[in-house]
Amino acid sequence: MLTFAEAARRPESEVGAELARLAAHGAQGMFVPAAFEEAYYLNFNLPEQLRRLFSGINPARIDEDALEGLCGQAQQLVRTSVLMDDAVQLFYRALGNAGLNTGTVHARRPGTRHAEEAQRVIPPGTAALHAVKRLWARDWSFEQVLARLDDTGGIGIEARPTLLLAGPPGQPDAALAREYGVRTALVNPTGLVGLPE
């Protein structure tokens, strides 16, 4: 895990276009690489548990009522699985290095606007970690699983990076977007927190 300043020294192919844009404009935050989420899934054999959970779903003829219940179970499974202690300590150290271990923070995926907020974060940062897990669990919402079934015929999803930023989720600022030459710029009371498009 890296602060935005540290991540900005890495190739854009490694950290993503949005983080590169944010860092270029002086935004501060924390980059959680996809490998951290992947390790979380693999340490608890979540891919196999999720495959078994959805094994009764036929992509050619989806029972949406059954799918909705399974999605709720999948989200619960992702939210309540426990990270290994070493990973938790690594997360807390990185959160402190980024200056995000107190106050309000939000987590979101690069290139998206949906965010999970953690209010009243206090050291070491458990509330922020829970916000990240809620964000990851959102991948198992009914709408997202149904879209994957329709698009690919399966439920699988690749791990993706996560961004943590200070303050509440950002709101669109049309003037700043025009100034930066982008479609969307997100700001909150701390300043720039998103250039998702």
Q: How far apart are CA 71 and CA 95, in angstroms?
A: 30
Residue-level pLDDT at 197: 80
- Burial (CB count within 10 angstroms: exposed 0-12, middle 13-18, buried 19+), residue 91: buried
Name the pTM for this structure.
Answer: 0.94
Residue 117 in contact with residue 131, Cβ under 8 Å? yes
**Nearby residues of 23 by Cβ (< 8 Å), 6 or more positions away:** 4, 5, 7, 8
Give the model's pLDDT for residue 38: 96
**Closest listed residue to residue 99, CA positions, set 123, 118, 83, 120:** 123
Tell me what pLDDT residue 26 has.
92
pLDDT per residue, tens digit, the chain (197 aa), is 999 999 999 999 999 999 999 999 999 999 999 999 999 999 989 999 999 999 999 999 999 999 999 999 999 999 999 999 999 999 999 999 999 999 999 999 999 999 999 999 999 999 999 999 999 999 999 999 999 999 999 999 999 999 999 999 999 999 999 999 999 999 999 999 999 98
List, in order of start, the domains of the chain with CATH numbers.
2-194 (3.30.1490.20)
